[in-house]
Amino acid sequence: MSQWMWYVAGAATGVMVYSIIAALIRVPLTRAAVLEEVRKMLRGGVVEKTPGRGLQARGRLGQLEVTVDLADDHKRRGQSPMWRVLAVGPVRIEHPIEVTVGEWKGWIDSWMQLAESRSYPAHGGPALVGHSEVEPAPDHPVIAALQRHHATLAPGALHARPDLMRAEVRFSPRATDNRGLFAYLGTMAEISDSPASRARHDAAPRAPRTARTMVAHSER
């Protein structure tokens, strides 16, 4: 091999090594920056380091208790690393539903593979495909909220069941390219606080005040 070919090979190797090092440095910096922005939008938000999972943001968003972290699934390299969102609170839907946004691969709940798939109008945004055992009503809070926010959604998925929602969202090494995560957070808050959800929450049977008082005293 001639000397100039050695130079070319050396330069290519140097560029590759630089790219790898830059990516290794950029991912944790971006994760910290984005989680800090998430913390600011949550009530009582904190960023904490957890064993085996690294940094996560946690706090309240409307009626939801939200946790956001960055996950790496070795079985899904095409989607990893990905943002994961866990939102616990009053969803108040009767049947589980999972919606994929764009060309997202994989399942939050693998059982949803057995459910029927239905496509929904995207109005110029990424494609929406819902998976549910029971056909959603035209005003289903999950579908309606995703359609309202579809223009700002990044490829990902949202799973909802009574009192719980989860989301997976594409991660970008550039902090400014992760706005899709905040679109999902806004969508989840809207689903929880939608008129349909509030109506179901208000209609849910509640324990008498004396019974709640007895439970509270028994837990002290």
Contact 170, 156 (CB under 8 A): yes
Per-residue pLDDT band at 220 (split at 50, 70, 90): very low
pTM across the whole model: 0.78
Burial class for 120, CB neighbours closer than 10 Å (0-12, 13-18, 19+): middle
DSSP letter for 93, please: -
Q: List strands edge to edge, sheet with 54-61.
A: 43-50, 54-61, 64-71, 82-88, 164-170, 156-161, 97-101, 128-132, 116-120
pLDDT in tens, 118-139: 999 877 778 999 999 999 998 8
Q: What is the mean pLDDT of the chain?
A: 81
User: For residues 193 and 91, which has the higher predicted lDDT (pLDDT)?
Assistant: 91
pLDDT beyond 90 at 210: no
